Each structure stands twice: as structure tokens, then as C-alpha cells.
Amino acid sequence: MKDSALYIHIPFCDHKCIYCDFYSIITSDNVSSFLSALKKEIKHYSKQFSEDRIFSSIFFGGGTPSLMETEFIGEIINSLKENYKIADDAEITLETNPGTVDKKKLKEFRKIGINRISIGIQSFDNEDLKFLTRIHDEQTAIQTVWNANEIGFENINIDLISNLPKQTKEKWEKNLIKAVELPIKHISAYSLILERGTILNKMVLDGKVTIQDDDYDAELYELTIDFLEGHNFIQYEVSNFAKQGFECRHNNAYWHYKDYLSFGPSSHSFVDLLDGKAGGKRWWNFSSLKKYISEIEKNEFAIAGSEIINNEMALNEYVMLALRSNGLDLKDFGKRFGENWINQKHEYLKKLSKQDFILTDGNLYRLTKKGYAICDEILANLLQS
């Protein structure tokens, strides 16, 4: 049985934040049609992927999944359980925004099987929240975490964004201090990224907003690592920190090159075609909800494009994902890709080790704090032909 993951994209949102580039729509139209299409898509892929794998993670992303009624989410969970082998202890995550759930609704989500809540707080500073066009304030964010904890959610993640315009180190550290005072087990701490097509990107291009430089971003990043590790949060990926045993299973499926099936508009799927060796297939759905629904009605799938991942692509992706997370296991790498690449890169890896960018532990090569700070540069050098 192959351990795999499931993702469901819920596109509905109450409004579009200025930095967000995920597919989302500000409407409640087509909710019932979407649910019907989603269930058809889930059933369609079960014919191919239900026999040889077990799914240990289900992740509801968006959009804002917590806007939906609990019965809606419950129907999707039931459909997945009817069509796939879901592990008894599967991690089932729901992305949640403060201001969209109260204690009663959180209790209902827990009752239908959600056992991990990921709360998109982004900042505890009201000025920053206003700039990001979030609908909540600091107090609502804090109360949402406590509500989730009080009704029985042990596994709680919060998202935070660093390097916002005019964000001082002191202001960012206050965010981290407030975070670790809360009953949470996981923190995703992302640096602000300008994505093409977002409102924020246009504001920067128009000169209305200035983004702080890469050196300052790196200083905030090192502050984040030092602070969270000092409060018993283990860094297990470039932007993710968890208490021992609470690493996100779903994220680890991506970073450890496991299969994942995704349903809904704009969602991406990946399967390893060669059973643990190099290669695989990736496909993605249409982004438009109306197009997604019409394609499902006609075909039971809504694939907008696909690609076969050849050996070189697979090697590059494997190295990138491994070094961004728990490290590059040379033994596993050798089974998949052979020894040539390792031999070619041996001197560079040795140099990185001497410069304290990489730690070596037997067959495992893992980035240090210094290494994480220049992860993109290291990967560019490793993966150049």
C-alpha cells in the first residue's frame, strides 16, 4: 500500500486579500453544483487510485473552506471515505480564517472528523492586518485559537507573514511572542512574496508600496528560526516549525515526493509512475469554477494540462524538496537516481559542509540555519547542468 494524500480546493471566499494568488471567488453562486461536481470527480479517480494506496492525510484549502456549512464539508469527507482507503488515524486539516468561525461551528467541524485546524492569522498587528486587507483584528485571531483549543483541537497551526512593508524586527518579534503564548503545535512563517497578478504586486509596480530588501528579509528569517527553536518549535521545512510529533503530514507528503490527488478548480495532482524510482505524472485542473463544473459534467474530470516528469525533472524536484525539508537522504536518492549525480556534486556538498551551510549525518545532508537562509542560491548551484 502506498501512503498518499488528498487535497480539496474550496474556491469560495468573502473577499480577495491584496497578496493572495490562489484561485478564489467572492460569490456563493454554484455552491451546490460545485459539490455535485466534486463528488463526481472524487468517484472518477477512485477507479484508478483506490486499490493500491492508503490516504493518511486530507487537506481542505482554498479560498476559505471554513466559510462553508459543516454539512458541506461532511459530505465531501463521506465521499472520500466511500471511494478511497482512508487511514483510521488520518490527519484531516481545514484551513480557517478568523472571523469566519465561532466556537459552535468549530465544534461542528470537529464532530464531522476535522482533527487539525490551520488558522490564517498572518499578523497580530492591527495596522498590518488592515494593510493586508484581512477581515479580522488581533483579538479575533487570538480568540479563534483559544476557541479551537477549548473545544478539543489539539493540533492547531497558525500562518504568519514576515517582511511586510515597514515591519520592524521588534514588530515581527512581537508576532512570534504572541504566537508561542497560544496553545498551538505548528507555525507556518512565510516571507511576503510578490505574486504576479495580485493587487499588492500592482501597488508595488505603481510605487505605492515599497518592499524591504533581501538582506533585511534574511535577518528576519534568522530571527524567526532562533526564536522558534528557542521555544521548542522544530524547523522541519524552510518555512514550517512544529512541536515534536506535530509536523504536518500533508505538507510532508509534498516534500517527501509522495503521491497526492487533488480535487476542485485549479488543483494539482502528482503520482509516481515508477513505484519509487525516477519519474511520474502531474496534472492540473481548470481554474474557472464554471469551466471546472462543465468539464466534470461532460467527462467526470477537468484536466487543463498535464506533464510526464522525466528523470532529470524528477531528480531536480527531489533534491529541491528534500533540502527544503528534512534533508537529502543519499541512500534513498541512490535507489531512485543512481550514484552519478552524487559523485558529480560531492566536492560542492563537501564545501557547503565546511562552510557550515550543510550538516552531514551518515547518509543525510541537511541544511543548517545559515543554509536555509540561502537555500535558493544553494539549489541553483546544485541543480545547474
Confidence of residue 278 (pLDDT cuts 50, 70, 90): low
What is the pLDDT averaged over residues 126-151? 95
Q: Which three cell numbers stand for residue 40?
A: 463526481
CA dihedral for 240, 242, 248, 253, sign (positive or negative): positive
Q: Rounded distance, CA 157 to CA 253, Å?
A: 17
CA dihedral for 348, 354, 359, 360, sign (positive or negative): positive
10 Å CB burial of residue 144 (0-12, 13-18, 19+) is buried
User: Would you state the pLDDT for residue 214?
Assistant: 86
Q: Are strands 155-162 and 116-122 parallel, antiparallel or unpaired?
A: parallel
Enumerate the domain spans of the chain.
2-254, 329-383
Q: Which helix (H) or strand (E) holds 240?
A: strand 240-242
Average pLDDT along the chain? 93
What is the pLDDT averaged over residues 95-116? 96
> For the segment 53-83, what is each residue's pLDDT rounded down to a tens digit?
999 999 999 999 999 999 999 999 999 999 9
Q: Which helix (H) or strand (E) holds 366?
A: strand 364-367
Read off the pTM: 0.93
> For the segment 288-339, what is each residue's pLDDT rounded down to a tens digit?
999 999 999 999 999 999 999 988 898 999 999 999 998 999 898 998 889 8
- Classified by CATH at the fold level, domain 2-254 comes out as TIM Barrel (3.20.20)
User: Would you state the pLDDT for residue 195?
Assistant: 81
Q: Which three cell numbers stand for residue 121?
A: 492569522
Identify whether the C-beta of residue 289 lies closer than 8 Å to the C-beta of residue 302.
Answer: no
Q: Are strands 280-285 and 186-191 parallel, antiparallel or unpaired?
A: unpaired
103 SS3 class: helix
User: Would you state the pLDDT for residue 279?
Assistant: 67
Q: Are strands 186-191 and 155-162 parallel, antiparallel or unpaired?
A: parallel
Confidence of residue 143 (pLDDT cuts 50, 70, 90): very high
What is the pLDDT averaged over residues 255-275? 89
What is the pLDDT averaged over residues 208-237? 93
User: Would you state the pLDDT for residue 273?
Assistant: 65
User: Would you state the pLDDT for residue 226?
Assistant: 96
Phi, psi for residue 107 in degrees, rounded to 5: -65, -40
Instruction: Say which range, 104-113, 195-204, 220-229, 255-264, has the weakest mean pLDDT.
Output: 195-204
The share of the chain scoring above pLDDT 70, in percent, equals: 98
Confidence of residue 373 (pLDDT cuts 50, 70, 90): confident
Half-sphere exposure of 287 (CA within 13 A, CB side): 6
Confidence of residue 23 (pLDDT cuts 50, 70, 90): confident
Q: Which residues pair with residue 95 across a beta bridge? A: 118
Q: Rounded distance, CA 179 to CA 145, Å?
A: 10
Q: Which three cell numbers stand for residue 347?
A: 566536492
Q: DSSP states of 111-177 as a string?
A: HTT--EEEEEEE-S-HHHHHHTT-S--HHHHHHHHHHHHHTT--EEEEEEEE--TT--HHHHHHHHH
The share of the chain scoring above pLDDT 90, in percent, equals: 75
Q: For residue 298, give Cα distances in angstroms to 67, 193, 281, 302, 382.
A: 28, 37, 23, 9, 45
Q: DSSP states of 19-58 as a string?
A: T--S--BS--TTHHHHHHHHHHHHHHHHHHHSSSEEEEEE
